[in-house]
Amino acid sequence: SYVLTQPPSVSVAPGKTARFSCEGDSVESESVHWYQHIPGQAPVVVISYNGDRPSGIPERFSGSKSGTTATLIISRVEAGDEADYYCQVWDRDSDLWVFGGGTKLTVL
């Protein structure tokens, strides 16, 4: 089981908005980071510290959190966004860096 819970899959048509949730007690008190992982490539951080967008990441990517749930939003989804998306926090109670189980984005 995962300290962070993510839905296994999300499907969205091109040009629409994709929303990814990440739920866990640690989300409320710790910074959440989001990664895009295209199979065969190195994972890339797309959102850090809950809502910061690293240099080079399109403005279509945004992040937020409320209580124990963090959300990654991809606006105007493109075919190239198809990937697995993972949330990650440092779990203070266990002193472990933990990932959610990941959500696979399918662009229809």
Which CB, 20 or 86, lies closer to another protein?
Answer: 86
- What single-letter amino acid sits at 30? E
Which CB, 59 or 95, lies closer to another protein?
Answer: 95
Cα–Cα distances in Å, from 25 out to 2, 33, 77, 107?
11, 15, 29, 30
Shortest reach from residue 7's CB to another protein, in Å: 13
Please report the DSSP string for 50-80 in residue order. TTB--TTS-TTEEEEEETTEEEEEESS--GG
Shortest reach from residue 44's CB to another protein, in Å: 7
- What single-letter amino acid sits at 13? A
Which CB, 14 or 55, lies closer to another protein?
Answer: 55
**Binding positions for another protein, rule: CB under 8 A:** 2, 30-31, 33, 35, 41-45, 48-49, 54, 86, 88, 90, 95-102
